[in-house]
Amino acid sequence: MDHLTSMRTFMKVAECLNFAAAARHLDVSNAVVTRQVAMLESHLNAKLLNRTTRSVSLTTAGQAYLRGCVEWLNELESMEKGILSAADESTDALKIACAASFADGDLADVLAEFHLAEPQVRFDLSVFESMQRVTLADFDVCFSVEARLRDSAMISRSLAVTRDVIVASPRYVERCGIPECPDDLTQHSILVAGEIPARFWEFDDAHGVNRTSFKPVFRAGSVLAVKRVALAGLGIARLAESLVQTELDDRTLVPLLGQFPLKGNERAIWMLYPAHRHMPRTLKTFTDFVVSRSRRY
């Protein structure tokens, strides 16, 4: 016997004082209501309802049992609300993993705008230079900047495309001059970001692919470190445009070799999150907000 269902059925019959009316309210047949009340009376070994062909009334035991049912179900509802409230509070914290290039770019605006709409949400951010080593399932949502998304069982949404640009500080340009073509890079100080040492950049030109080799004067796993030394005037760097857009706008970095397209310079900004059958409200609200925002920009 489903004890809780039988109790709710009994309470509805007691409210309506009519088996047929109770069945209609519960959207079940008369037979189901009759059977559940009979099973409850058998379980309690007590008669709860007086039945005649014309009326239904509560027995003394039925009145006492109804009071107990109401009190118990109220306590159950109160307990469930408390648990749901605690669960909602725990899901108001978003654990975010983010590629450094996006964390230093648009992410701050995304979080600030979302927090205006959902001020109760807290953010726990982890920033990574390489997302390849990140266990995505350890986070609620991840932002990655990659040319090709790795295989993942997570839901992935492409938010935007960013392109690499070659940049240097005005201080460096004043001291060392502007490269007029890719081959001139061999005479300049090159700054390289990435865990794998890159010793060439490739450009598309009228004759096909032009590979320009160099020996970096500075290499770091951190794109932010490379950005900082470029701003300091150490040399020429290849960085994501989204990472240096502010500096390009205020001319603390200047673009170089723009007339020579870089080969393989496009990367997508991805948002990834687990495929939940029942997605937590905060996560759904946040992911919907990010996708909607990306369409406006």
pLDDT in 10s for each residue of the chain, 297 residues: 688 888 888 888 888 888 888 898 888 998 998 998 899 888 889 998 998 878 889 999 989 989 898 888 888 877 776 666 555 554 588 999 998 888 888 899 999 999 999 999 999 999 888 777 777 778 899 998 887 776 566 888 889 888 889 999 999 999 999 999 898 999 999 999 875 556 888 888 777 788 888 889 999 888 889 999 999 999 999 998 888 988 999 999 999 998 888 887 788 899 998 877 677 888 999 999 999 998 886
The two three-digit tokens of residue 155, written as one number: 């839901």
Whether the CB-CB separation of 163 and 240 falls below 8 Å is answered with yes
Domain ranges of the chain: 3-89, 93-157+269-296, 163-267
* CATH no. of 93-157+269-296: 3.40.190.10
State how far the Cα of 105 lies from the Cα of 240, in Å rounded to an integer: 10
State how far the Cα of 14 lies from the Cα of 181, in Å rounded to an integer: 89
State how far the Cα of 295 lies from the Cα of 105, in Å rounded to an integer: 17
Q: Do domains 3-89 and 163-267 have the same CATH topology?
A: no
Q: Is the pTM for the entire model greater than 0.95?
A: no
Whether the CB-CB separation of 260 and 165 falls below 8 Å is answered with no
The architecture that CATH gives domain 3-89 is Orthogonal Bundle (1.10)
Please provide the size of the chain in residues. 297
CATH class entry, domain 163-267: alpha beta
The two three-digit tokens of residue 41, written as one number: 């009376």
Whether the CB-CB separation of 201 and 182 falls below 8 Å is answered with yes
For residue 180, give the DSSP letter: S
pLDDT at position 287 is 93
